[in-house]
A and B are shown apart, each in its own frame.
Chain A
Amino acid sequence: MSDATQSGPVLAADGTPLKRSLARSLRVQKMRAMALIAPLLIFVLISFIFPIGKMLFKSVQNDIVEQTLPLTVQQLNQWDATTGELPDEALYAAFVADMVVAIDAKKHTRLGTRLNYEQTGMSSLFRKSGRKIKRLDPETDGPFKDKLIKIDKKWGEVETWSVIKTHSVKITNGYFLNAVDMQRTPEGAQAQPEDKRILIKLFQRTLIMSLIITCSCIMLSYPVAWLLANLPARSANMLMILVLLPFWTSLLVRTSAWKVMLQQQGVINETLVWLGLVADDSRLALINNATGTIIAMTHILLPFMILPMYSVMRTIQPTYLRAAKSMGATNWTAFWRVYFPLSVPGIGAGSILVFILAIGYYITPEIVGGTKGVFISNRIAYHISSSLNWGLAAALGSILLAVVLLLYWCYDKIVGIDNVKLG
């Protein structure tokens, strides 16, 4: 280090200070890395992250009322629903003016559908009244208050107007309240009536069934992973194929296989009847209920538990067990105090993975779950494709996503994303 005696910065071969030269080359390296990553990153951001963000925004977005009835909403803001008095003529006039425009653009039925989520009967109210309001002229036909009440007496009820007022805000917590079996009312958030409370139950069922599936996966995977980790490599590889084959087989193949196995006239019931273990008229109900979902999903998710457990157990030295035994531990003590604690990371990794996958499952519960074995995902799909209540679907999806991301964060803390292995 003869340069060390010189004063001033260390120079690179081309005469620039070494520090700057290094920084430049580092920058070039970073730019090159980013240039390689950028196309994919942009692709994923635009076509995955952004759509999901937009979908999540739908869970609070509620500008349909204000867009369809702008004048009415202005008037409603001045009206106080708690007095129990009907709004005045100005509001009815504004409402008719808004409706005539909306009917022209055929938007009033959509608004009716939207409000129908909150109060049944709104959809038909808007549809039926729409036909008659169409004939009114907002300029000349006033006053409208009595006319509207004659068209449908619901327009003379305070409740109708207070529902419209409650849901006229642009950003609403209404969908999220609905998602947890509550509703947005003029008096704030309140619980839904008893008969409409199904979603909390569904969330609970999803969680409980995912937990049961995870536990049964642990119970079934532990012995298998132990065996695979302790057999000689050749036989372990052979047995590994039996684990990997289901893993690689199409999800629908496995689901249809379970449908074949679990039916009333299916393979399991037929075998049990043939063996005389079950009477012909009291065949087990294994499908279209929670049992079917649990059996099929345990089978489908089992490889996701076995593989992480196996990779952890393979690193545990068999000598530890022998050492424990040589020092006087019984078989059970040696296993419970030495082997099991070492294998816990594998159980943790596998459990979180299985739980994350189970909680968002859609296909298998849909096919083997009937009505009693479906998950929250099935409800989301129902709201997207059948009831078209997209806001509620988005709110349910946001809650599900939040749970999954939380678990994923735990997974990252325990295992690390970089350590995810496949096959």
Chain B
Amino acid sequence: MASLTPISRKPLSFVLPTTAAFGAFLGLFVGTANGSGLTGILAGAAIVAVMGILFVSVIRNEGLSKWISIVGVAMMGLFFAGLPGIILGALAGWFFHWLTYWLYEGRYRAKLLPYLTSGQVLWHYTFRTICGAIFVFLITPILVVMPLSFNAQDFFTFTPEMLRLDPAGYSLKHYQDFFTNNEWQRSFKNSLIIAPIATVISVSLGTLAAIGLSQSHVPGRRAIMAILISPMIVPLIISATGMFFFYSDIGNWLEGTLGLPKNFVGYVKVILAHAVLGIPFVIITVTATLVGFDHSLTRAAANMGASPVTTFFRVQMPLILPGVISGGLFAFITSFDEVVVVLFVGSASQKTLPWQMFTGLREQISPTILAVATILVVISVLLLATVEMLRRRSERLRGMSPT
């Protein structure tokens, strides 16, 4: 959408009531927080309207009025709500200044099609606001956890010190607890043992099967596909129940008949159970990559005398590698994030990080969970970046335009 629409100044009779309405909305909250909602509404509307007149008719200088607005409203924030009020006030001041000029100069139409009616323009921005609210809903819970993990108190909520931005309200003690507490460290280590091995099993078996499935004549392809994807479809609690009975029999047999150590058998059980759960993700991503794979390449390789194994490792593998890796990442995160199955199949010595978090949330609520959560969010950001990079690389390799 090009900014070809000519824009013109709007009359104050349109600008002032609109900004005043926003001012009244903010004033409502300030008012109710200080006792009287109605006063808040009226005062908010009046202040913002006066500011509007001041900016566009008296000062007539956008840069200067911006700073006046920010500092002025920040001072009001300080008066009503103390130190955190300054930040909120400065943001509000910036917003009202921006809103006034945005409306007054008619900038809000610049990027829209010229023939839209006022109603359509209003709907356009209302819609954007709704979408913005939904995005806030999506992302807030993840963002809220991060500052709380630096809480100096053992609370799950913001303390007054934190809101005052007092350094004494913040500390790294929950992180310290995570890195020194034996229980957390053991569970973290268990997760790091179980998830990679389970991933390797599901990726190696899954890739082979996906290659088999992508060939042209496979009897009963749909049935096989349905079976291989079923671990993703069956509710985890049912899978966990089934595996609980199965692996306790297997475990007894391994320990009793073969005399393997108990701890080792425990890991084997959990790893195999997690490997099964990761398989559907590998199958789906790798078959999706193979759909775009040009089979004449393998034929060309064979034509030039390469053995099937060489063809696989030198021709096919490099091309489908992005799909394999992102399938592997999915499998990894599935295992790394899995609670229900490990809860049923594993024993206390196989306690993984999510298990520890689960008991932490259910029984003794320790804020260390929030520190762990923050670390896990950082890890998932890294994983997300990797997958996104691989997806683009795969699209580039296959000659598709990046979307």
Which residues of chain A have a CB within 8 Å of any CB of chain B? 26, 29-30, 32-37, 39-41, 43-45, 47-55, 58, 220, 223-224, 227, 232-233, 237, 239, 241-246, 248-261, 263, 265-267, 270, 274-277, 299, 302-303, 331, 356, 359-363, 366-367, 377, 380-381, 384-385, 390, 393-394, 397, 400-401, 404-405, 408, 412, 417-418, 420-423
Contact = CB atoms under 8 A, between A and B. Distances in A.
A337 B230 CA distance: 37
B22 interface: no
22 contacts: A26-B217, A29-B217, A36-B211, A41-B227, A44-B227, A52-B234, A52-B239, A55-B241, A242-B138, A245-B384, A248-B380, A250-B376, A253-B145, A256-B370, A261-B140, A266-B156, A267-B144, A270-B157, A299-B138, A331-B123, A360-B235, A377-B237
A276 B144 contact: no
Interface string B1-17: 10000000000000000
Contacts of A250: 333, 336-337, 354, 373, 376-377, 380
A380 B239 CA distance: 12
Contacts of B231: 44, 48
Contacts of A274: 33
B229 A420 contact: yes
B93 interface: no
A260 B33 contact: no
Chain A binding surface SS class: helix
Given A34-B212, A39-B208, A274-B33, A248 B219 contact: no
Given A377-B237, A404-B233, A39 B135 contact: no
Contact of A401 (B31, B156, B235, B279): B235
A421 B164 CA distance: 46
Quick one: which of A48, A223, A360 has the most chain B CB within 10 A?
A: A48
Interface string B212-250: 110111110010111111110111111101111111000
A256 B357 contact: yes
B131 interface: yes
B144 A377 contact: no
Contacts of B155: 265
B326 interface: yes
B170 interface: no
B349 interface: no
Nearest to B244: A384
B348 interface: no
Contact of A251 (B157, B228, B239, B337): B337
A393 B130 CA distance: 43
Nearest to A267: B144
B399 interface: no
A224 B135 contact: yes
Nearest to B136: A242
Given A41-B228, A246-B139, 18 more contacts: A33-B218, A49-B230, A52-B238, A233-B403, A248-B381, A250-B373, A252-B376, A256-B357, A256-B361, A266-B156, A267-B158, A276-B33, A302-B138, A360-B235, A400-B235, A420-B284, A422-B326, A423-B391
B90 interface: no
B392 to A, nearest CB: 10
A401 B242 CA distance: 12
A274 to B, nearest CB: 6
Contact of A245 (B139, B157, B285, B391): B139
A253 B377 contact: yes
A34 B1 CA distance: 52
Nearest to A251: B337
A175 to B, nearest CB: 14
B157 A263 contact: yes
B133 to A, nearest CB: 9
A418 B120 CA distance: 40
Contact of A33 (B127, B212, B402): B212
B32 A48 contact: no
Interface of B: 1, 29, 31-35, 37, 120, 123, 127-128, 130-131, 134-135, 137-142, 144-145, 148, 155-158, 205-206, 208-209, 211-213, 215-219, 222, 224-231, 233-239, 241-247, 272-273, 275-276, 279, 281, 284-285, 287-288, 326, 330, 333, 336-337, 339-340, 344, 354, 357-358, 361-362, 369-370, 373, 376-377, 380-381, 383-384, 387-388, 391, 402-403
A265 B142 contact: no
A417 B226 contact: yes
B235 A422 contact: no
A204 B387 CA distance: 39
Contacts of A36: 208-209, 211-212
Contact of B205 (A40, A248, A258, A265): A40
A5 to B, nearest CB: 32
A366 B229 contact: no
A249 B142 contact: yes
A303 B139 CA distance: 11
Contact of A244 (B219, B237, B384): B384
Contacts of B123: 331
B224 A43 contact: no
A33 to B, nearest CB: 4
B396 to A, nearest CB: 15
A422 B156 CA distance: 34
A224 B235 contact: no
Contacts of A246: 138-139, 141-142
A265 B148 CA distance: 13
A256 B145 contact: yes
A318 B11 CA distance: 34
Contacts of B142: 245-246, 249, 253-254, 257
Contact of A51 (B229, B233, B243): B243
B141 A257 contact: yes
Given A242-B138, A256-B357, A261-B141, A356 B381 contact: no
Contacts of B336: 250
Given A39-B205, A241-B384, A263-B156, A30 B138 contact: no
B134 A48 contact: no
Nearest to A233: B403
Nearest to A219: B134
A47 B276 contact: yes
